[in-house]
Amino acid sequence: MSMEQTEIPAVPRVTASVVGLDVPPLRAAGAGLGGTPLQPEGIGLGAAPLEASSATAFAAMFKALGDPVRLRLLSMIASAPGGEICVCDLSGAFHLTGPTISHHLRILREAGLVNSDRRGTWVYYRAVPATLILLAGLLHGSA
């Protein structure tokens, strides 16, 4: 008996333009160009007032992170060895049902903070580096 393999469509990468943010290119550390890998040049609450569309996009991300379970999930995903983690490994860390964990992961995915792909019966999650850099740049620039 052979099993038919189904091709999984690629998940689009979230970039500043995808989430509706007008962000200058990231600068290399030590390049003398005024930015670092974690702080895009000209980004930060103190750099300039946010446009309404940028504020809306950032607010959606922060709203997704406003729940302790989702913040912890993102932390576990972002710090996972190899950059990804199976939902089966996430579920055991919480005293919550599988559907509740899936609900929280869906909110993180819709906010552009994580991507996922299905492999057999399991779903694997990865943090979206570009989105995390945008958030870090916004917050770091305000310090």
Look at residue 27 and tell me if it is in a domain: no
3-state SS assignment for residue 124: strand
**Given pLDDT bands bounded at 50, 70 and 90, which one contains residue 142?**
low
Q: Has residue 107 been placed in a domain?
A: yes
* CATH code, domain carrying 123: 1.10.10.10
Task: Place 13 in a pLDDT band, splitting at 50, 70 and 90.
Answer: very low
pLDDT of residue 98: 92
pTM here? 0.68
pLDDT for res 49:
83
Q: Does residue 73 lie within any of the structural domains?
A: yes
**Residue 55 vs residues 61, 67, 100, 110, 136: alpha-carbon distances, Å:** 10, 19, 28, 17, 15
88 has a pLDDT exceeding 80: yes
On whether residue 14 sits in a domain, the answer given is: no
Residue 106 has pLDDT above 90, yes or no: yes
Is the pLDDT at 34 greater than 60? The verdict is: no
Q: What is the pLDDT of residue 101?
A: 96
Averaged confidence pLDDT in the chain? 76
Contacting residues for 118 by C-beta, under 8 A, at least 6 apart: 8, 124
77 in a structural domain? yes
φ/ψ of 39, rounded to 5, equals -135, 95
Check whether 78 has a pLDDT greater than 50.
yes
Domain that holds residue 113: 65-128
Percentage above 70 pLDDT, the chain: 68
Q: Which of 8-12, 105-109, 118-122 has the lowest mean pLDDT?
A: 8-12
